[in-house]
Structure 1
Amino acid sequence: MRKIAFLMPALLLAACSQPPAPAEPAADAPPPMHASAAATPAAPATEPAATAPAVPATQAPADDARARIDSVLGDAAQYEKVFNAFKTAVVGGDRAAVVEEVHFPLNIADGKKITGPGEFQRNYEKIITPAVVKAVSEQDFGKVFVNQQGVMIGNGQVWLNGQCLDPACTKTEVRVITIQ
């Protein structure tokens, strides 16, 4: 039983990962369909469960991102609002506004966590690196990748997801949950 409990988080991560898209679709082919995680067979996990969400090979088509957020995560408008506020703050170098869009504890690179706003501010340059700024500044909300783990910016530099505010999870608050 202990082996099953130990493997469950890793298996859940593997089950939630999206399969890579075909390398080169035909010119007249429709956009690829994205299968739900329930239909995706679970692969053996090779990473510990504490790592950041898996980085997919492709992003969702632009016309599909909002619909996918609504169907997989709910309330695309809330995700878009947080995405835009975070992007404006990061690109503008507004540290206080960046902190407002972050959920603590914040997952950062190498499985580490930032516990609060003060620690975030002290380590700002180590967290909001030039690579993170570049990924955020170049990301279009209509082209974000979406799965059950959240909304991905860039190639996994930033992840947004909703946090339940009540036991039934009828109300959520979307925030940045990972920066790496």
Structure 2
Amino acid sequence: MRKIAFLIPALLLAACSQPPAPAEPAADAPPPMDAAAAPTPAVEPAAPAVAPAETSADDARARIDSVLGDAAQYEKVFNAFKTAVVGGDRAAVVEEVRFPLNVAGGRKITGPGEFQRNYETIITPAVVKAVSEQDFGKVFVNQQGVMIGDGQVWLNGTCLDAACTRSEVKVITIQ
């Protein structure tokens, strides 16, 4: 029993001691790597996530038809508005807008005359940039309409009859 009592402190000391330092690597051995620096395995490049323009536009049309209906009308207004804004054709821009128009700051523009008087504060360089860079195939679509840019412009339709068999798509917001 005395021998066991004598060995207990030695065993506890051994259990708490540090492991021996690793031996120095050989001069020609590569340096050790930690887990964070592990090489990444080679991966074949993935196919592009974005489909060709035709398919993308078809996808946008399908989303619009599914959520809002009449994608052809949305595309027509989108193209006309983009051409007018990029070309600086104020009269053509007004033709694609529904009044009252929601604009930045929660204001409403009530008609074409007010729109023309405030054109530069409504069609800002940021709006022109967003519209000019937007591809129809990449528009965001939800029940509120079709979004251009990061929300600078929204298009949506309005029913022209009680059964909503006829509708008219226009720009409803410019921010």
> CA offset at residue 156 of structure 1?
0.2
**Structure 2 equivalent of residue 169 of structure 1:** 164
Residue type at the aligned position of 1:95: R
TM-score (norm 1): 0.66
- Rounded to whole Å, the distance in 2 between the matches of 1:179 and 1:136 is 11
* Structure 1 residue 93 corresponds to structure 2 residue 88: yes
- Rounded to whole Å, the distance in 2 between the matches of 1:92 and 1:62 is 23
Alignment of 1:1-180 (within 5 A): 27=46, 63-180=58-175
Q: CA RMSD in A?
A: 1.9
Q: Which has the higher helix share?
A: 2
- Rounded to whole Å, the distance in 2 between the matches of 1:70 and 1:110 is 31
Structure 2: where are the runs of 5+ without partners?
Answer: 1-45, 51-55
**1:134-171: per-residue Cα shift (whole Å, max 9, x none)?**
00000000110000000000000000000110111111
> CA offset at residue 64 of structure 1?
2.1
Give structure 1 regions of 4+ aligned residues with deviation exceeding 6 angstroms: none
Residue type at the aligned position of 1:132: V
Structure 1: where are the runs of 5+ without partners?
Answer: 1-26, 32-60
**1:37-73: per-residue Cα shift (whole Å, max 9, x none)?**
xxxxxxxxxxxxxxxxxxxxxxxx6552110000100
Task: Tell me: higher relative CO, structure 1 or 2? Use CA pairs within 8 A at least 6 residues apart.
Answer: 1
Aligned pair count? 126
- Rounded to whole Å, the distance in 1 between the matches of 2:76 and 2:57 is 17
